[in-house]
Amino acid sequence: MPLQKPVLQAAILAAFQKQSAPSANLAAAQAQLAADLATAIDLYIKSQKIVIPPGQAVLAGSPPGPGATIAPSPDAKIS
């Protein structure tokens, strides 16, 4: 699945809206905002799937040089 920018934008907006209420502890509010943004970005990146096209060259050996090619791969999720 391609990365969906509106999903990330909505998560960032939600994090900022969560902080719109006055807070007595600025440091805690900033830490919470940072945590919410980090979660949104982490989920956004991990929602991407990587597909390796058939015939992709694989570098192997020492020093690295051309190696074998690979068959189509199943989608790989980033974790």
Q: Where are the beta strands (DSSP E) in 3-75?
A: 49-50, 57-60, 65-69
The total of structural domains in the chain comes to: 2
Q: Is residue 36 located within the same domain as residue 59? A: no
Segments forming the whole domain that contains residue 33: 1-47
Q: Is residue 41 located within the same domain as residue 66? A: no
Q: Is residue 31 located within the same domain as residue 57? A: no
> At a CB cut-off of 8 Å and minimum separation 6, what does 68 contact?
58, 60
**pLDDT over threshold 80, residue 76:** no
Q: Provide the 8-state DSSP code for 52.
A: P
What one-letter code names the amino acid at 11?
A: A
Comparing 72 with 14, which gets the higher pLDDT?
Answer: 14
Q: Is residue 41 located within the same domain as residue 20? A: yes
For residue 40, the model assigns a pLDDT of: 92
Q: Is residue 77 located within the same domain as residue 39? A: no
Are the C-beta atoms of 77 and 49 separated by less than 8 Å?
yes
Comparing 21 with 75, which gets the higher pLDDT?
Answer: 21
Q: Please tell me the pTM assigned to this model.
A: 0.59
Q: What backbone phi and psi angles, to 5 degrees, belong to 63?
A: -70, 160
State pLDDT tens for residues 16-71: 888 887 778 888 888 999 999 999 999 888 888 776 666 666 565 555 555 555 55
Q: Is residue 14 located within the same domain as residue 36? A: yes
